Amino acid sequence: MIDPVMEIWGWPVPVYLFLGGLVAGMMIISGYFIYRARYQQGDCSCSILPPLSLGLLSVGMLALFLDLEHKLYAWRMYGTFRPASPMSWGAWILLAVYPILLASTLIRPLPWIIQRTKFAARWSEKLHRSPALLKTIGAANIALGIMLGIYTGILLGAFGARPLWNSPILGPLFLVSGLSTAAALVHMIARDRDEREMLARADIGFLTTELVILGLFLIGLATSTRVHGEAADLILTGEFAPAFWVFVVGIGIALPLFIQALAVRHTIAHTPIAPILVIIGGLVLRFVIVHAGQVSHWTRTAGLP
């Protein structure tokens, strides 16, 4: 059974992974908009996505900090770079993400930012004098978003002692899931009708891809060693199965796919219902993967304590 303490206090890592994936997806979408010069349109979501990403990522970092056992030594992660360490890669990716998000915020500063920050309008004007620089910022958003999204899965996959996490598919799964939740969130806050339509269509592709990758992830575990098969059973038929099938597959993927398919065909109107369900499913997916991975271990099959 699940450790009651883990049920109560095991929220920081799943929340960090969810927010990290969400921000990664938002960076990719925002970077695409910037690269395609959609920032020139007054109702483009690229004006709200960078500052929102900064806030959400900071909340995720706070959640991760709360989970650290030796908080006073966290700064050492940023004092050195170890190529073989996923944690080191993650720390330095995050260091690169913040300035890019700040630069993206200055492309189309929100009115309250201009009112409270004297240099915002001045730097925005300077950025607009260089279309090549703006395209570079857009491309950097896409590249760093992909790296951040994949890293959230690789971070778990590096723990070989947990069979459920020991899969190279976990990185792409979390990346696509982050894209899906980001497209859902932007779909809700977008003011432009065509942009909402585009994001709804994109989310159908993301959800379909997520479902395929999720299937490959579980098939890979089930057809591997006995201990990996038992790890997959925790999700497929075990104690985590209800949360997985109901909230991740049913509410988080299948139902939104059906609703969005009807919406893009204009059979029904676009509503926030499907995006909210996608976001819930993405969050529950992280909780299921993290907690089921903590339960799975090699001694489980061997019958050792």
Please report where in the chains the tokens 């009651």 appear, as a residue.
4
Confidence of residue 153 (pLDDT cuts 50, 70, 90): confident
pTM of the model: 0.90
pLDDT the model gives residue 299:
67
Q: What is the pLDDT of residues 213-248, one digit of tens each?
A: 999 999 999 998 889 899 999 999 999 999 999 999
Q: How confident is the model over 2-20, as pLDDT tens digits?
A: 343 334 347 888 999 999 9
Torsion sign across C-alpha atoms 278, 284, 288, 289: positive
* Cα distance between residue 129 and residue 88, in whole Å: 36
pLDDT score of 138:
95
**Residue 300 vs residues 227, 229, 230: alpha-carbon distances, Å:** 8, 12, 9
Per residue in 247-285, pLDDT (tens digit) is: 999 999 999 999 999 999 989 888 899 999 999 999 999
C-alpha to C-alpha distance for 266 and 277, rounded to whole angstroms: 20
Give per-residue pLDDT as tens, 180-217.
Answer: 999 999 999 988 888 999 999 999 999 999 999 999 99
Query: What residue ranges define each of the domains in the chain, with the CATH number in brackets?
Result: 4-302 (1.20.1630.10)
What is the reported pLDDT for 1?
Answer: 36
Nearest to 125 by CA among 33, 133, 48, 44: 133
Return mean pLDDT, the chain: 87
Per-residue confidence band for 27, with pLDDT thresholds at 50, 70 and 90: very high
Over residues 126-133, the mean pLDDT reads 89
Top pLDDT among 85 and 262 is at 262
pLDDT of residue 301: 47
